[in-house]
Amino acid sequence: MINSFFWVDITFWLYLASCTFYMLYGLFYKNETLGLLGTVTAILGAIINTLALVYRAYEAGHAPFANLYESMLLFTWATVIGYLIMEFKYKFRIIGTFIMSIVFLSILTIVWLLPYRYQNIDPLNPALQSIWLEIHVITTFIGYAAFAISFGISIMYLLKNGVEKKTGGGLKNFMIRFPDLNILDDLNYKSIAWGFPFLTIGIITGAYWANYAWGTYWSWDPKETWSAIVWLIYAGYLHARVTHGWKGVRTAVFAIIGFIAIVFLYWGVSFILPGLHAYA
């Protein structure tokens, strides 16, 4: 029977394929076809990922963002689409090697690591039945996706920077395809320039919804607090960059720290710290 789990499985294999093609493309850099295959499988993956979300919504009878499993599917979806837009605009396929690895690891965690009970469709608890939930989750996850992309780009920056220092620019390995350092740096800023407004809208709509649901727009529960911490980290990034001219290694490290904080916000808070947002 075809259900959302079936589409999630297909998505999984497509992302694995895409990730593999992009890696081979990085290693055998004379072969453009491999890169093209990476892109094509990523596009197919995004389409099937969409189907998985639609099926899930249909089965559950509500927008498919009610638990960790569903929101991870949203995360992979937003990240792949964000990346593909970037690829079409800037034509640096090699970045796909890193972004699709993040995407593949994400879907791996929910398909293989997440205990089965987290994959179930849950009925929505009463407070979650609101259009604001949907706006809140979608904007937040567009933000997360943009930050994930900036994370991947920052790692590329640090790798390329490290190797360039050592070998004085004579790159023999697959980094030859990496964009110039200043382009990587600029793309890093651009991803954060997308992530920050969306994270901000996510936080605000979350507050609006909380106010509507229980009369307090901010109650310092761990999830809210961690979202504020993440927000402050990226605000720090922007100010360091714009007002102090921080660039390159330092901002790359900043973006990496920011994304680690997001992973904690997303997984750590749900499993380690107590709070209202136990579902996602």
- Closest approach of Cβ 235 to ligand HEM, in Å? 4
Tokens 């761990």 locate to: 222
Tally the C-alpha atoms within 13 A of residue 167's C-alpha that lie toward its C-beta: 13
Residue 145: phi and psi, rounded to 5, are -60, -45
| Residue 274 DSSP label | -
- Among 6-14, 27-35, 156-164, 191-199, which window interacts with another protein (CB under 8 A)? 191-199
Residue appearing with tokens 């780009």: 153
Q: Pick the binder of another protein from 50, 109, 119, 200 (CB under 8 A).
A: 200
Q: Which does 225 bind (CB under 5 to 8 A by kind): ligand HEM, another protein, none?
A: another protein
Instruction: Provide the residue type at 135 as one letter.
Output: I
> x/- contact string, 206-245, with ligand HEM (CB under 6 A)?
-----------------------------x--xx--xx--
Q: Which option in ligand HEM, another protein, none does residue 130 bind, with CB closer than 5 to 8 A by kind?
A: another protein
- Using CB under 6 A as the binding rule, whether residue 250 contacts ligand HEM is answered as no
Token pair for 206: 């979350």
The piece of 1-9, 15-23, 112-120, 238-246 that touches another protein (CB under 8 A) is: 238-246
Burial zone of 244 (CB within 10 Å; 0-12 exposed, 13-18 middle, 19+ buried): exposed
In angstroms, rounded to a whole number, what is the distance separating the alpha carbons of residues 65 and 73? 9
Where residue 38 falls (left for φ over 0; alpha for ψ -120 to 50; beta otherwise) is alpha
**Helix, strand or coil, per DSSP, at residue 68:** helix
Output 110 or 233, the one with its CB closest to ligand HEM: 233
Question: Interface residues with another protein (CB under 8 A)?
Answer: 123-127, 129-130, 183, 186, 190, 193-194, 196-197, 200-201, 204, 207-208, 211-217, 220, 222, 225-226, 228-229, 232-233, 235-236, 239-240, 242-244, 269, 273-274
